[in-house]
Structure 1
């Protein structure tokens, strides 16, 4: 929940596209071309939907830890690494949709991204509480095979793990919310400057500029068609005292 936030703010896809060399015309597709093809693929378009990314982010924890898959993966070093890579990839996908800088197939509005964030995070707390309240040990066969004879019991360890996840889970959420708010303010400021420039240029393609031009035309027409008001007749000046 923390590492993906830092990675997506570094725009890794944009950095890779700028750093990787472009394949020559007759050469086979290189890493840059393959990355571009992946980013524009229907698969990425589907998984980058906010609802899909949120379900993967939360559902992965329940699907891995609350099934026998966790114990199976923990029994081998490659399985353990695969689990870590999976959680990192899912975190990158979710936070890319929420606060990512890299372009994406669909860019939901800031209010929609905030709604997805607020809707998803309670399920993370629910997962932590499920660990604390569970009376069944996760991957009990694996932890028993480790043969640890020191420290608290396995049940206490699992409870402490859920408590740590619950207590620290709000910190990344707070950081993400602040980042999203800053991005929202900057986006509105850029949009305001863009509209001002289009109005200054008199761009007819801009709806606001066209509306202002329409009002100006109406004002000019009213001034041309308005009847001329006659000048008032001069009033006679009354004689003052002592004048003849």
Structure 2
């Protein structure tokens, strides 16, 4: 009945090794003053605590053959602000933001100045590559871009090199509700330089600028200018013109 508190106390004490050919049943705690090597499978019931200091390490040489599921929702982290994982390869990433998180659901901090911050390689043919459903936004912005250090770069650049002759729009903006009479489909503000520049290069192509208007009693086009000695509307022709202005 004498309990053991060390490897030198207890009802049975031996200075040598012990070989056991059959099962061993221990009614209380098992304490080992050294390494534990298990040959075969190990099943442990109950909670597990590895290490008692941040200097302790857990190393996996084998693959993980199960899911990693926390015992509390939105409570534990993978890494922290100072100790971060290098890379992650996953088939699908689902991110859920807590209602009281006080921070974005996803933050990307890119510090490599000559590499992409986010790269998407898409193989979709009939499905959208990126889809944003922001039907709850009222006074906020769905996409907000700031690029205050631009020199010869662009805040938004779209390039399509498709040779297909099918009718399509490279960029489409739709205000899709007839009751939204105070909305504007596209606003361009330029505090310096040009406001809008259209460069069409196919000589026999369609219109460089076309307006399809349904107005009957209101103006189709309007120019509001405070010009004094300048020209409100200038039309120039580089070649011999046989058509109409």
TM-score, with length taken from structure 2: 0.21
Greater RCO (Cα-Cα under 8 Å, separation 6 or more): 1
Which has more helix, going by share of residues?
1
Bigger radius of gyration among the two: 2
TM-score, with length taken from structure 1: 0.21
